[in-house]
Chain A
Amino acid sequence: MEPSADIKRLPAPARWSIPGIGLLKGMVVTAQNMIQSYYRKERMTTVQYPEERAPISPNFRNFPFLCYDGEDPKAGLRCTACTICETECPPQCIYIVLERDANGKSLKRPKVFDIDVSVCMNCGICAEVCPFDSIYMDGEYELSKQDRFNGLLFHLDRLAKSADYHMKLRPKEAGEVAARRKVEVDKKRAVQAAKDAKAQTDKDMAKPEPTTKGEPA
């Protein structure tokens, strides 16, 4: 890479410029800005925050929330406590305990799901890696609390938000997710129905014929 012969001189002041002309030009610029700030919107961009708010774009992300279907946050929670988000979280701010029944069998839902939002850095990786469409980034941003430690440690009840909320927050993304889930649920239902039907026919059929042993799911 060599400097080319194309030498371009800047609009620099001429050799014998009037002294102080640069200063006066600067004063003209500031005066223009002052006067135009009264009538030009792109000059005065201040938003008077608590009274008026800048619109939030659909992509805006703040701290995560957990999505649930239906009305009941406990029953409809999509989270299966798989702990993928817990391991992938860069600042390690998620804490999950799997709920088990009396026999120690996994119930595939979290007993404890805590996010320490004072540690969380809103990167959104948890939402990206979640395979169950469960965790999403919230758009809520007024979260200041008097209590620095407990107030900013969000538990499951604080984190769980309905799918309708997600739909309202990000219609496009939530619509896609809902459509996909519907397809999956339909498929699952169809599979289940087929299984049931199969079982029925199996029961109906005579025993000795060892045919297919259930569907490969």
Chain B
Amino acid sequence: MSLLDMSSGGPSLWAPEWLPRLPQRLVEMLLQYFGAPEWLVTTAGWITAAATVVGVFLGGFALLSLVERKTLARVQNRLGPNRAGWFGILQPVADGIKMLTKEDIVPAKAEWLLHLAAPILIVMPSILALGVIPYGREWTPVPLELGLLFFFSVGAFTELAVFMAGWASGSKFPMLGAMRAISQMVSYELPLIITTVGVVMITGSLALSDIVEHQVGFHLGFIPKWNIFTPWGFSAGIVFYIASIAEANRCPFDLPEGESEIVAGHMTEYSGFKYALFFMGEYLGLFAISGLGITLFLGGWQAPLPGLGFVPSWIWFFAKLVVVIMSYLWIRATFPRVRIDQLMRFAWLCMLPMALLTIPAAGIWVFTANPDGSHGILGWLTTVPLLLIPWIIITIIFNRRISPATRSYTFADS
């Protein structure tokens, strides 16, 4: 085996497609050179591949925690952290040291074992979910056949961990936060999964790399054939985006933390490194869910315009990831938090019907396709009204509840 073999297939010229796999290949080659048995080579390779993903995303977590603070600060006309190192680049390190050296407090009424296990269990599924996402043409850490299913079954574990944290703390604010978290996550998990059904129907596969491969090519030569550029995919993408914010407990759906109402929700009784683990889990979950969204709707690692294929595919993936995460930050900088009853009403009366409607729309889209896979006017004519009219009805209903048009203000002059 030589290095040249591994760079096969890609049209890349300057930045090698196989760069992210380099550590794995190196370990494998090294072990083969010393004549290690085959099973050892494979296992070591897997471990190295997993370590690469974890390393990349832990670095991303550190960077994101800084970028988030800097961005939000700029939005608020502040400078943000700029003292630790150039441009505050060492701030995550300082935060980490601070978190590690803080006293670990366990409340007297806490179930100490569950209290200890919850932060660990919240990080674990996020890392597991990150393993199945195709980051580049050559780089899917664990290419599972049932990748999508694996992602959601692992991701569902987060709810358990959050509830565990809230219940085991033996305190009231965490308990309220846990109750909010469980109802919110269960409600939004439903539309989140249902929207992916359409993608699976179109692709005919649960493997995430197949889903990306299916979005190869361009309409009219310049519009990428991503799922977001189809009527059902657009609708599903919006639902998925909103539901993913709720799944990741981000503003405006950060009710489980709800710092102005219930202090810090399920994290209230945590301190030190356990608290840092919650943050890590939250950010890794954010990476995972936005990575999945990119894979399903935004063409994964595909270049957005023709002729840009020479850039390594994983760079496109991470560029899209940055864009999606910046949109989360922008929303966080702007929106207030919704209330729990509004959140639930929104989930069940808006998100769920719209998610369900994407399934027939995707079915119609498949059946109206021409034999060569292109779509005629018929598919647009049927799916667009099918989705647009319910959207309008639902938004009118929701808008009427909150219209201030009836408010008028008088002035007393004398």
Distance, CA A52 to CA B410, complexed state (A): 48
Tell me whether B331 is interfacial, beta carbon within 8 Å.
Answer: yes
Q: Which of A4, A12, A30 contacts B75 (CB 8 A)?
A: A30
> A23-B335, A44-B77 given as contacts; is B409 within 8 A of A10 (CB)?
yes
Tell me whether B334 is interfacial, beta carbon within 8 Å.
Answer: yes
> A7-B408, A8-B410, A15-B405 given as contacts; is B334 within 8 A of A23 (CB)?
yes
Residues from chain B with Cβ under 8 Å of A12 in the complex: 404-405, 407
Query: Nearest-CB distance from A21 to chain B (Å)?
Result: 10
Tell me whether A144 is interfacial, beta carbon within 8 Å.
Answer: no
Task: Select from chain B the residue with minimum beta-carbon distance to A38.
Answer: B74
Task: Select from chain B the residue with minimum beta-carbon distance to A21.
Answer: B399
Tell me whether B260 is interfacial, beta carbon within 8 Å.
Answer: no
Tell me whether B395 is interfacial, beta carbon within 8 Å.
Answer: yes
Distance, CA A30 to CA B333, complexed state (A): 7
Tell me whether A206 is interfacial, beta carbon within 8 Å.
Answer: no
Residues from chain A with Cβ under 8 Å of B333 in the complex: 30, 34
Number of residues in A with C-beta < 8 Å to the partner?
A: 32
Tell me whether A43 is interfacial, beta carbon within 8 Å.
Answer: yes
Task: Select from chain B the residue with minimum beta-carbon distance to A32.
Answer: B75
Q: Is the CB–CB distance between A33 and B330 below 8 Å?
A: no
Query: Nearest-CB distance from A107 to chain B (Å)?
Result: 53
Query: Nearest-CB distance from B322 to chain A (Å)?
Result: 16
Q: Is the CB–CB distance between B74 and A4 below 8 Å?
A: no
For the A-B complex, the count of residue pairs with Cβ-Cβ distances under 8 Å equals 79
Query: Nearest-CB distance from B314 to chain A (Å)?
Result: 28
Q: Is the CB–CB distance between B411 and A19 below 8 Å?
A: no
Tell me whether A101 is interfacial, beta carbon within 8 Å.
Answer: no
Distance, CA A15 to CA B399, complexed state (A): 9
Distance, CA A8 to CA B76, complexed state (A): 32
Distance, CA A8 to CA B408, complexed state (A): 7
Contact with A along B250-280 (1 / 0, CB 8 A): 0000000000000000000000000000000
> B368-414: which residues lie under 8 A (CB-CB) from chain A?
395-396, 398-399, 403-405, 407-414
> A23-49: which residues lie under 8 A (CB-CB) from chain B?
23, 26-27, 29-31, 33-34, 37-38, 43-46, 48
Residues from chain A with Cβ under 8 Å of B403 in the complex: 13, 15, 17
Query: Nearest-CB distance from B321 to chain A (Å)?
Result: 20
- Chain A CB within 10 Å, residue with most, of B71, B76, B405, B414: B405
Residues from chain A with Cβ under 8 Å of B146 in the complex: none
Contact with A along B149-173 (1 / 0, CB 8 A): 0000000000000000000000000
Tell me whether B79 is interfacial, beta carbon within 8 Å.
Answer: yes
Q: Is the CB–CB distance between A26 and B335 below 8 Å?
A: yes
Distance, CA A3 to CA B407, complexed state (A): 16
Q: Is the CB–CB distance between A8 and B75 below 8 Å?
A: no
Query: Nearest-CB distance from B164 to chain A (Å)?
Result: 34
Query: Nearest-CB distance from B414 to chain A (Å)?
Result: 6
Tell me whether B78 is interfacial, beta carbon within 8 Å.
Answer: yes
Task: Select from chain A the residue with minimum beta-carbon distance to B398.
Answer: A19
Q: Which of A9, A16, A26, A37 contacts B334 (CB 8 A)?
A: A26
Tell me whether A14 is interfacial, beta carbon within 8 Å.
Answer: yes
Contact with A along B61-81 (1 / 0, CB 8 A): 000000000010011111100
> A19-B398, A33-B75 given as contacts; is B408 within 8 A of A9 (CB)?
yes
Residues from chain A with Cβ under 8 Å of B330 in the complex: 27, 30-31
Distance, CA A29 to CA B335, complexed state (A): 12
Q: Is the CB–CB distance between B74 and A6 below 8 Å?
A: no
Residues from chain A with Cβ under 8 Å of B410 in the complex: 3-4, 6-8
Q: Which of A15, A29, A34 contacts B74 (CB 8 A)?
A: A34
Tell me whether A2 is interfacial, beta carbon within 8 Å.
Answer: yes
Distance, CA A13 to CA B405, complexed state (A): 6
Contact with B along A138-160 (1 / 0, CB 8 A): 00000000000000000000000
Distance, CA A2 to CA B413, complexed state (A): 8
Q: Is the CB–CB distance between B79 and A34 below 8 Å?
A: no
Query: Nearest-CB distance from B112 to chain A (Å)?
Result: 38
Q: Is the CB–CB distance between A8 and B331 below 8 Å?
A: no
Q: Which of A2, A19, A30, A37 contacts B395 (CB 8 A)?
A: A19
Tell me whether A56 is interfacial, beta carbon within 8 Å.
Answer: no
Distance, CA A17 to CA B395, complexed state (A): 10
Task: Select from chain B the residue with minimum beta-carbon distance to A44.
Answer: B77
Distance, CA A25 to CA B324, complexed state (A): 20
Residues from chain B with Cβ under 8 Å of A217 in the complex: none
Task: Select from chain B the residue with minimum beta-carbon distance to A23.
Answer: B335
Distance, CA A120 to CA B118, complexed state (A): 49
Q: Is the CB–CB distance between B331 and A4 below 8 Å?
A: no
Query: Nearest-CB distance from B81 to chain A (Å)?
Result: 12
> A26-B334, A44-B77, A46-B78 given as contacts; is B409 within 8 A of A9 (CB)?
yes
Tell me whether A54 is interfacial, beta carbon within 8 Å.
Answer: no
Q: Which of A17, A23, A34 contacts B71 (CB 8 A)?
A: A34
Q: Is the CB–CB distance between A13 and B404 below 8 Å?
A: yes
Contacts from B to A (Cβ < 8 Å): 71, 74-79, 330-331, 333-335, 395-396, 398-399, 403-405, 407-414
Q: List 7 A-B contacts (CB under 8 A).
A: A7-B411, A13-B403, A16-B396, A31-B330, A37-B75, A45-B77, A46-B78
Enumerate the 6 nearest inter-chain pairs by beta-carbon distance, A residue then B residue, closest first: A19-B395, A15-B405, A4-B413, A34-B75, A30-B334, A3-B410
Q: A1-B412, A37-B77 are in contact. List 6 more A-B contacts (CB 8 A).
A: A19-B396, A30-B333, A31-B330, A33-B75, A34-B74, A34-B75
